Amino acid sequence: MKQFFTKLIVIILIAASPKGHAQCNVNLLTNPGFDSPVQTQIGNNLTGSFTFNGWTMTGGPFNVIQTDGSIYAGGPDNAQNGNQYVDITSAGGTIYQDFTITGITKPVGYSGYFSSREQGAYTDWVASIDIIDLGTNTVVSSSNTRLFTNADGAVPAQDAWYFLYGNVNLPAGNYRFQANLGDYGNFDAASVAQNCVLATNLTSLTGNYAANKTLLNWKAENTQNIKGFGIERSIDGISFTEIGALNLSATNQYTFTDVNPPADAKIFYRLKIMSRNGNFSYTDIIIINTKNNVNFSVSPNPVMNNLTVSGLKTTGDIIVTDALGHLVVSQKIQALQSYTIDVSLWSKGMYIITYFDGTKKATQKFIKL
């Protein structure tokens, strides 16, 4: 069931949260993820009702997955945050953690990331998050939802994490954050932040490493209140340094090249979104691995007509799927070959391109306009 790959990048959808609310980046959940205790194997079956790192899980069975870029055919090759995440097999279940609001009624933004396990005896399921008032035992808010189908379990579609979130005004009291999973679901990186409203305009950030450079791309929407972007880099995922800045573009398409990233390392990138009123917010983090990877680049991204794939230093296979996992292109590539794909007639949206050289793979996403 389990194999091993090396993954080049993680692509995520990100939402901004305003600086004007001082505690927007303070997570009220004691443990937002599943990194402790460290698992000594790729997963451990946990059934019934049990606790793990402050979380209570019901249903299942569950696995706590410890895989950091290693190939795992049973789900994503990377956790959304840290090195471990939780998945569920054979049945639905819930994962919950309690938190407290004190003082006056506060706006609260809450979120989490969901993905899919491998294809198989799959039952479609809907991912969601509920906020439950423990005083009345009632659901007071629910997030947006996503339907997961068998296509989400295909490689590389199963490597995608989907960001679900909601907003609610909560008076003082005790509450529960509850993630709802179905058959073959994964969950990670939960957040509850008071004095915070998660924005509904999403930005897509992508990145790839080739020719000793990191190329970052993103698309911003609803930018009337945005002044520009700061690009920040970290080697530990905690302390970030600004390495560049860009003003608004007329097309809302952005590209930034990090010409001197650390070699042979895992690098963390994020954007600082600067508002016209002086506030700012941070995107979530993407990870670029410059160590022992198959590297290639795609351009332009986003693309309208012809997509060029370059930096193919070994013979391998190019595979392109749409966001639902449907195969669009499968082509064998010779070493040092640059490959052009005509996408002019494709439907608009996100696509996933994978380059596999027989032992290692690199995966990226691009947007068709």
Q: Residue 221's pLDDT band (boundaries 50, 70, 90)?
A: low
pLDDT at residue 82 tops 80: yes
Q: Where in the chain is the domain with CATH 2.60.120.260?
A: 17-194
Instruction: Please give the model's pTM, rounded to 2 decimal places.
Output: 0.54
pLDDT at residue 4 tops 50: no
User: Contact, 54 vs 31, CB < 8 A?
Assistant: yes
Q: Where in the chain is the domain with CATH 2.60.40.10?
A: 201-293
Q: CB count, 10 Å around CB of 221?
A: 11
Distance of CA 155 to the CA centre of its chain: 16
Assess whether the previous peptide bond of 171 is cis (omega < 30° from 0). Answer: no
Name the least confident of 61-75, 169-183, 223-237, 278-292: 278-292
pLDDT tens for each residue of 8-34: 333 333 333 333 333 456 899 999 999
| Topology (CATH) of 17-194 | Jelly Rolls (2.60.120)
Q: Residue 198's pLDDT band (boundaries 50, 70, 90)?
A: low
- Rounded average pLDDT over 37-64: 77
pLDDT at 201: 53
Q: Residue 365's pLDDT band (boundaries 50, 70, 90)?
A: confident
C-alpha torsion sign, points 22, 110, 167, 158: positive
Domain 294-369 matching CATH 3.30.43.10: the answer reads no
Q: Where in the chain is the domain with CATH 2.60.40.3080?
A: 294-369
Domain 201-293 matching CATH 2.60.40.10: the answer reads yes
pLDDT at 209: 79
pLDDT at 62: 86
